[in-house]
């Protein structure tokens, strides 16, 4: 099974997938890493042949950038596409093109805290728990059907950085587990809900 990854930054989630593939926990290949930032460290985690990047900000029309991105994605024929720290809102045309096989990992317990600064917002709200979610990508930001979540307690003295660090530790196994469901054919988007089918 072929997995493509969209990412803008560090790429620790991509690394978790690569490590899981290397030691046999994830039965898949990473067939491309796509970034809107040519200098993103995430690109260095895969061989040159698997890298695609364009500076999204250099395009006058976002639709042109996303058409190129979509064509490049389609060219590597992915079964699944994962947004792992891709920090740009995806346009409707791109989302519809890959609907049902595009996933995102988001650092909050959705439906809480869509968008940015999720850790600070959870702290400000005084939440006792925080975490991360993997969900299907739909045109509305961070609003597609949730597949699975990882929960952690908020501890006294937590700040956004400490919370982000503990959530990230849980993101990695969560993403691997969901991708393994996906590549083994167990995951289906059914409108606003998700079915994780047994064997
Ligand atoms: C993760 O917290 C992810 O949930 C969020 O951005 C961060 C990306 O981290 N969307 P990394 O680039 O995978 O290390």
Residue 119 lies in a domain: no
DSSP bridge partners of 187: 196
* Residue-wise pLDDT tens digits, 48-107: 999 999 999 999 999 999 999 999 999 999 999 999 999 999 999 999 999 999 999 999
Q: Is 131 in the pocket of ligand 1 (CB under 6 A)?
A: no
Instruction: Tell me the residue ranges of DSSP E strands in 7-145.
Output: 29-35, 51-53, 80-84, 102-106, 129-136
C-beta atoms surrounding 93 within 10 Å: 12
DSSP string, 73-100: HHHT--SEEEEES--SPPPHHHHHHTTT
pLDDT of 188 > 90? The answer is no
What is the predicted ipTM? 0.98
Instruction: Compute, in angstroms, the gap from residue 13 CA to the centroid of ligand 1.
Output: 6
Residue 52 lies in a domain: yes
Residue 198 lies in a domain: no
C-beta atoms surrounding 199 within 10 Å: 5
Domain count, the chain: 1
Give dist(CA 125, CA 160) in Å, integer: 12
pTM for the model stands at 0.96
Mean pLDDT for 109-123 is: 98
CATH number at residue 97: 3.40.50.170
Higher pLDDT, 194 or 25: 25
Instruction: Compute, in angstroms, the gap from residue 99 CA to the centroid of ligand 1.
Output: 21
Instruction: Tell me the residue ranges of DSSP E strands in 96-182.
Output: 102-106, 129-136, 146-153
Strand, helix or coil for residue 4:
strand
Contact 28, 21 (CB under 8 A): yes
Residue 110 lies in a domain: no
Mutate-to-test residue for ligand 1 from 114, 171, 176, highest number of ligand atoms within 8 A of CB: 171
Instruction: Compute, in angstroms, the gap from residue 199 CA to the centroid of ligand 1.
Output: 31
The answer to whether 106 is a known catalytic residue is yes
Residue 155 lies in a domain: no
Of 106, 119, 130, 172, the catalytic one is: 106
Residue 127 lies in a domain: no
Q: Is 12 in the pocket of ligand 1 (CB under 6 A)?
A: yes
Mean residue pLDDT across the chain: 96
Q: Is 15 in the pocket of ligand 1 (CB under 6 A)?
A: no
Q: Which domain holds residue 50?
A: 2-105+134-146+171-189
Q: Is 121 in the pocket of ligand 1 (CB under 6 A)?
A: no
pLDDT given at position 199: 57
Residue 114 lies in a domain: no
Contact 85, 17 (CB under 8 A): no
């Amino acid at each position: 099974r072929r997995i493509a990854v969209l990412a803008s930054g560090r790429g620790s989630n991509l690394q978790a997938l690569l490590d899981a593939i290397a030691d046999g926990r994830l039965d898949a290949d990473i067939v491309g890493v796509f970034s809107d930032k040519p200098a993103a460290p995430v690109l260095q985690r895969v061989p040159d042949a698997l890298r695609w990047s364009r500076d999204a900000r250099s395009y006058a029309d976002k639709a042109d950038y996303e058409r190129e991105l979509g064509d490049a994605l389609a060219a590597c024929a992915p079964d699944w596409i994962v947004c792992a720290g891709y920090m740009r809102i995806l346009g409707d045309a791109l989302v519809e093109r890959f609907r049902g096989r595009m996933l995102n990992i988001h650092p909050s317990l959705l439906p809480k805290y869509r968008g940015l600064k999720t850790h600070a917002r959870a702290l400000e709200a005084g939440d006792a728990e925080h975490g991360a979610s993997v969900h299907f990508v739909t045109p509305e930001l961070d609003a597609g059907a949730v597949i699975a979540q990882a929960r952690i307690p908020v501890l006294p003295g937590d700040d956004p950085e400490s919370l982000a660090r503990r959530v990230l530790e849980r993101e990695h196994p969560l993403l691997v587990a969901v991708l393994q469901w996906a590549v083994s054919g167990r995951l289906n988007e059914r409108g606003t809900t998700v079915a994780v089918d047994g064997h």
